[in-house]
Every structure is written in structure tokens, then in C-alpha cells.
A and B are shown apart, each in its own frame.
Chain A
Amino acid sequence: MTHPDVEAVFRAEYGRAVAVLVRTLGDIDLAEEAVQDAFTTALRRWPETGLPPSPAGWIITTARNRAVDRLRREAGRGERHAQAALLHAPDAPREEGPVRDERLRLVFTCCHPALAVQARVALTLRLLGGLTTAQIARAFLVPEPTMAQRLVRAKAKIRNAGIPYRVPRDADLPDRLTGVLAVVYLIFNQGYEGEAALCAEAVRLGRLLAELMPDEPEVAGLLALMLLVESRRGARQDENGELVPLPEQDRGLWDRDLIAEGQSLVRRCLRLGRPGPYQIQAAIQAVHSDAPRGRDTDWGQIRQLYDQLMAVAPSPVVALNRAVAVAETEGPARALDLVDALDLDGYHVLHAVRADLLRRLGRDTEAVREYERAVELSENPAERAYLERRRRELVRT
């Protein structure tokens, strides 16, 4: 893609077009080929004709016509696959109306629990996000042929095992939705550590899900959580590439639009009154976003929200985060007791938290040892730089 208009339409409409074509043709590979064909044609035609009134509709109609033409030719040569696909294909081309449900089907197919988690992530980014195999491979630090093979296998399993192309029935929806949200959050977290573009993609997928499922509070909760975390991207590292922890961040660098959008979603979740893990995590981030300065943070409220999170989704990592809030409300000694009761040895954040608590308690020798352990275990350069500095400051005094 070289033409910027086509590129923009591609990013915005690829998933929608593929979703419609999968429905029409009954096959993901055929759908992808047809949509790519249509974009290639657009790249040639649009610079002369200008953007059509409905670019997405044009792409979908063109892709469908191309696919049906090709299937007819292949069916003429006696190819059974083509004949089968033609059974699904309509004769007359028509303009596309709203196709929300089609994308929703695609979401649930890409995130089907019978697929490996890595395959779900790759398929979602490829089919709904329109990312290339090379881009996905780079973001997940695997060689491109490995990622290509992962996608081929996943699509073959969808076809051969008969993974359906539909939104799950109501009874299965809560479970299956949890799986979809986990895929999106995984993409976001991968981007948090590495490529920023992945976070943007996760937010885009989050917005799509929120649009498709407006009545699901956890969908809104996940979107709010991602927006509020993403709002701090510019403040998370200083000019030397060192991590800046939340209480010390320059809040002038936070993205106010993302915060406003996230907070308004959190308020909507509260009104819906059906809390869940993502909503509670989003609410915790919203409390942080509310504080004009780090020391204004309402830790009491954060502590209560962590209590609530422990009640609905207990885990050692949540308990560790709760201990951080307890350090602010009841002091570092009480927090250290909680942290020491956790079985998380080898998790770098545990050692970073312990180091900080020991430092605040004046137990410098032990704190230095914990900083060293945290540095050893952390794989993030910005975080390592921060922990190193903290350790050096203690040794110097």
C-alpha cells in the first residue's frame, strides 16, 4: 500500500471486509485473498477516480465479485472446494449495509477456546486488525516463518475441525467473552513492554468490542483500563529511558483526552452495577488519574477496590498490588508482612516492592539485596535502570 487514502481505508475497514467475505464464502483464506485483491484494485483505481462514497462498501462489493468470478472459473474446472463455496455466494452484487454482527462473529471465531492462545492472538491481529504476518511476528519476537505457520495451522484447524462462524449462544457467552477480552488484554500488555503500535491496536479492538457489545460492562471495563494506562505512556519514562513510577510521574504529560474517555467509561460501568475484574482494575486506574499530584492519591479508595478485586478474582499478583496500597494506608511494616506471605519468589515486581518497603523501614542492607534480585529478574531496560539507581542511592548513603 502506498496511497495514503487506501492505506487509511485498509486499516479501518480490513476486518469489516474480511468478516463479511468469510460469511459469504465460508472460508477465511478465500476471504482474505478476495479482500486483498480488492485493495490492490483500489490502489490502482482510486488515485484516478477519487474515493468512492462508501469505501468499505466498494471494497466489499469488489471483493465479493472477484471471489465469485474466480470461484466460477475454478468450479468450471471441477474443483470441489470452489463448487462448495459457490453454494454460499450470492449472484447479484449489492451494496453493503451495517455489518456489525459479521465482525462479532469473526471475533469469536478468532478467539475460540479450541485454538492455542498464541494462535488466537495472531488471528485476531491478522484478520480483525489487518496487521501483516511480518508485523505480528516482529511484535511477538518470533521469526516470520514461525508466525506464518502459526496462522496457517490456526486457519486449517478452523476449517477442518469445523469451528463455527457465529456469536456463541447466551449460555456460553460469559465464558467465551472472557476469552476474547483476555486476547485483547494480552495484545495490550505485549505492547506495554514493547511496541507501542500493539497498544494502539488493542485499544482499537477494545473500541470495536465496546461498539459491538454495548451492554457488556466488562467490555467497557477493559477498554477503560487500557485507555487509562495508555494515557500515561508519555510520562512512564524520563529522557534517559529510565522508568518513572506512577507517584512520581509528571502528570502534565498524561493524555487528558484518553483519561476523560476512560473515566467516563468507568462511570458508565458503575451505573450498570455489574462489577467484574476489568471494571475494578479500571476504577483503580481512574482513582490514580483523579489525583492532581502523586501525594493527593486516594489510597483508601484504591485499597478498597483491591479488596473487591481480591474477592472476585484473587491471585498472588493482585494481593501484591493490594499490599502496595496497604503500605500507603497502614504503613510499610504491615505491607511487608502481607508481601512476605506471598508465594511469588522469582517475580521481579515482588522483589522491587519488597526493596521499596525495606528501604522505607530503614532496613537498607536487606533493601539493597532485594533491589539486586529485582534487577537480576527484570527484563525491561527502563525498569532495570530505575532499580539500579535506587540501589546505588542506598549504597551511597
Chain B
Amino acid sequence: MKYYLLNVMQPVGERPAPEVLAGIEKNLDALNRELREAGAWVFAGGLHGPESSTVLRPRDGDVLITDGPYAEGKEMLGGISLIKAPDLDAALEWGRRLALATTLPIEVRPFMGEAGDHEAGA
């Protein structure tokens, strides 16, 4: 088993209408339920926009606090799903479902090592 991070790639700026968002949320709830039942769910959540983010930068042995996005871009990290899957095909299948549920592109990134490596006491 490996951990995979599913990143929801959200376009910067445009925000869907409330009724569209409600539909997406319903889809996501259903998908997360399925992930739990399959034993693949580890964690999932949506993120506030980059305007709410704070960056900490090491400088001369100290750390500088700045407001604002870490990087400007056309896309931002809209949310994540952390899942457990036997291989990439299984992870891609969940990623496919997440893309359909969110109507957004999904990046699938493997974590280093095996799933057991990250657990407490392993």
C-alpha cells in the first residue's frame, strides 16, 4: 500500500455559482463516503484561497513572516485528498472520480515509501 496525494487544481479568480458549489459538495461527500468504505480514505479537505495564506521564510538564522500567496499562478491548490492505494492504477481511478466530482483537474502525487512507513510506531 502507498499513500497518494490528490491535489485539486483550482483556477485562480473565478468562483462557481452557489448552486453549482452545492452540487460539487454533494458529489464530494458521496465520494468521501465511498473512499471510507473502501478503506482508502486518510484525509480530505478544501482550502481557503491564497489570500488567507502566510509564508514563513528562513533568513539569517531567523524566520521572516509575510502575508500573501507563496507563488502567483493561474492555478492554485484548492483542496487535497490523501488516500491509501495498492498502486497507481487504483489511485488514478480515485483521482478520476475526484475530477468528475469537482469538475476540476486533479494531480496525483505518490508519497515516498510504503504506507506503513509513515504510521506511528511502524
Contacts and interface: CB of A to CB of B under 8 A. Distances in A.
B92 A162 contact: no
Contact of B110 (A112, A162, A168): A162
A160 B110 CA distance: 7
Nearest to B109: A161
Interface stretch (B12-20, B37-45, B83-91): B83-91
Interface string A154-188: 00000011111000100010000000000000000
B87 A162 contact: yes
A164 B87 contact: yes
B110 A161 contact: yes
Contacts of B2: 162
Contacts of B112: 160
Contacts of A114: 88, 92
Contacts of A162: 2, 85-88, 91, 110
A148 to B, nearest CB: 23
Contacts of A163: 87-89
A114 B85 CA distance: 16
Interface in B1-23: 2
A164 B89 contact: yes
A158 to B, nearest CB: 9
Nearest to B111: A160
Binding site of B, secondary structure by majority: helix, strand, loop or mixed?
A: mixed
A114 B92 CA distance: 9
A161 B109 CA distance: 7
A160 B91 CA distance: 13
B14 to A, nearest CB: 29
B106 to A, nearest CB: 13
A153 to B, nearest CB: 14
Contacts, number: 24
Contacts of B108: 161
Interface in B79-122: 85-89, 91-92, 108, 110, 112
Contacts of B110: 160-162
Contacts of B89: 163-164, 168, 172
Interface in A72-128: 112, 114
A114 B88 CA distance: 9
A162 B86 CA distance: 8
Contacts of A160: 110, 112
Contacts of A168: 89
A349 B88 CA distance: 41
Nearest to A112: B88
Nearest to A113: B92
Nearest to B2: A162
Contacts of B85: 162
Nearest to B92: A114
Contacts of A172: 89
Contacts of B86: 162, 164
Interface string B43-63: 000000000000000000000
Contacts of A161: 88, 108, 110
B98 to A, nearest CB: 16
A112 B112 CA distance: 20
A44 B107 CA distance: 49
Contacts of A112: 88
B59 to A, nearest CB: 33
A114 B110 CA distance: 12
A122 to B, nearest CB: 19
Among B88, B108, B110, max chain A CB count under 10 A is at B88
A168 B112 CA distance: 24
Contacts of A164: 86-89
A188 to B, nearest CB: 27
A163 B108 CA distance: 12
A168 B87 CA distance: 12
Identify the 7 closest CB pairs spanning chains A and B, nearest first. Answer: A164-B87, A162-B87, A161-B110, A162-B88, A163-B88, A161-B88, A162-B2
Interface of B: 2, 85-89, 91-92, 108, 110, 112
24 contacts: A112-B88, A114-B88, A114-B92, A160-B110, A160-B112, A161-B88, A161-B108, A161-B110, A162-B2, A162-B85, A162-B86, A162-B87, A162-B88, A162-B91, A162-B110, A163-B87, A163-B88, A163-B89, A164-B86, A164-B87, A164-B88, A164-B89, A168-B89, A172-B89
Given A114-B88, A161-B110, A162-B87, 11 more contacts: A160-B112, A161-B88, A161-B108, A162-B86, A162-B110, A163-B87, A163-B88, A163-B89, A164-B87, A168-B89, A172-B89
